[in-house]
Chains A and B, each alone.
Chain A
Amino acid sequence: MARMKFLCDSDRCIECNACVTACKNENEVPWGINRRRVVTINDGKAGERSISMACMHCTDAPCAAVCPVSCFYTTADAIVLHDKDLCIGCGYCFYACPFGAPQYPKVGNFGGRGKMDKCTYCAGGPQQDNTAAEYAQYGANRIAEGKLPLCAEMCSTRSLMAGDGDIIASIYKERVQKRGYGSGAWGWRTAYRETVDV
């Protein structure tokens, strides 16, 4: 069965932030909450590279392991979701997450004060698919619509890829073979315990 993953080809990312605003647009994410962010390394120097980061939907997700109320669950598509009705906003998951994905609103947003919010892989949450209740708490459910995360679908340079991990890995391999360089599938070892061999 297809296993959903993200792959950011950092040799392509130009830090344009389309992925960030696409996410805001699709999910009406409020000011101050960033499900996705772009981080630049060596800013302004030779070797400058940018990487788009969000929840990577890890295998054996560390956030789930530390959650005191067990609000996380992993779907058959390997998407890590959580139930905001259970979340108590304790913040443990933020410290456990190697990617710093969990976000906590300071005011009433996305289903209540202090409830954790993070990237859902545009797959909603434990409310019924594409209902107003699901949208209000978790945002869109594109996966149920037969689509993929909008951040990846709109990425300007086709740097950020989402979808079936095998397919996007093969696309990445094809690129590296063609162009002769590649910094690797960023974050994969941490998130998925594997890399893309080229």
Chain B
Amino acid sequence: MHDGNENKVAERRGFLKTLGLAGGAAAAAAAPAAAQAQAPRPRKETEVEKVAARYRETDHVKAFYRTNRY
């Protein structure tokens, strides 16, 4: 059902393209905290970005609501 979303997700997830996070394996061995220590810190969000709305009623979200109904 949300197979179709995959590309979109990947796009959104494309934020990381510049980040060069090493392959999954390296990330795996490290606990999140350690990963943080190794990764270069990108700039943080601005005050406006921080509070911006992100919720959208996607197909995924609609599916969730539907499965909560009878």
Contacts and interface: CB of A to CB of B under 8 A. Distances in A.
A interface majority secondary structure: loop
A77 to B, nearest CB: 5
B1 interface: no
Contact of A75 (B19, B51, B57): B51
Contacts of A130: 12-13, 15-16
Interface string B41-70: 111110001111111111011001101111
Interface residues of B, number: 39
A122 to B, nearest CB: 11
A195 interface: no
Closest 9 CB pairs of A and B: A136-B36, A146-B58, A76-B53, A136-B32, A77-B55, A75-B51, A143-B54, A144-B54, A132-B39
Contacts of A147: 58, 60-61
Given A4-B55, A30-B31, A147-B58, A158 B68 contact: yes
